[in-house]
Amino acid sequence: MASFLICHGAWSAGWAWKKLRPILRDAGHEIFTPSYTGLGERAHLVHPMIDLDTHIQDVLGVIECEDLRELILVGHSYGGMVATGVADRVPGRIRHLVYVDAFVPGDGQSLNDLTGREPAAPLDGWLVPSNPPPPDTASADLAWIGPRRRQQPARCFSQKLRLSGEAPPFPRSYIHCTRKPGGDSFARFAERFRDDPAWRFHALDASHSPNITAPDALAALLLPLA
């Protein structure tokens, strides 16, 4: 039995991984899908000072309180920022680090640094509105995710991640979602890791949130890691 721990994407929460939970559990594994402070069922805790470190601490708290070890740590999209910080702080607890169409920061980089732009913020100046869902998202899924997505504090995107600089002692995988009719913010990571012998690389014929649009295909790539 393996333990999967999900670091979800921006504006989302643990609920967005609802489709993947039974697939992994039916295969005999545990899956933890904590929601970050200010999002999902914790949206009532939102405030302007929430930042990337807050979300890293959210996940570290789950690892500590559940005493999780030999983790398969999965970061999706913005969750790649969170997962990188978590893995850097507790490397001895990680079996494998998986990025699913995710940002892979280096020391001193913020998400805004990686995108080369700051996301548009509304008039209140600290809550960033969500990006639209992929165009192939089914109407039933749009009805499910629409009311549950939340604006996210801007400091999550602007805070620079600080890393120890030590080489990760665990293997890493990158899953690149290829079904994107417009721009692809993650193509640069695919190019970087596709032929890197230190990484396992997979191209997935799915849009940016396969946990919603292609959970079986995503599970097929995650389960062999267990």
Domain boundary assignment for the chain:
3-225
Query: Rounded mean pLDDT of 118-128?
Result: 72
In this predicted structure, the answer to whether residue 174 has a pLDDT above a threshold of 80 is yes
Residue 33 identity: T
Q: pLDDT, tens digit, for every residue of 23-82?
A: 999 999 999 999 999 999 999 999 999 999 999 999 999 999 999 999 999 999 999 999
Which candidate in 77, 173, 207, 209 is catalytic?
77
What sign does the CA torsion over 18, 22, 27, 28 have? positive
**Secondary structure class of 29 (helix, strand, coil):** coil
77 a catalytic residue: yes
Percentage of the chain beyond pLDDT 90 is 91
Residue 107: phi, psi to the nearest 5? -60, 130
Q: Which two tokens stand for residue 165?
A: 């600089």
* pTM of the predicted protein model: 0.96
The β-bridge relationship of strands 94-100 and 199-204 is unpaired
Q: In this predicted model, which residue has the larger pLDDT, 101 or 183? A: 101
Architecture of the structural domain at 3-225: 3-Layer(aba) Sandwich (3.40)
Supply the mean pLDDT for the chain.
95
Burial class (CB in 10 A: 0-12, 13-18, 19+), 3: buried
Helix (H, G, I), strand (E, B) or coil at 92: helix
Q: Which residues of 24-57 are buried (b: 16+ CB within 10 A; e: fewer)?
A: beeeebbbbbbbbbbbbebbeebeeebbbebbbb
Q: What is the pLDDT of residue 183?
A: 83
Name the DSSP letter for residue 36: P
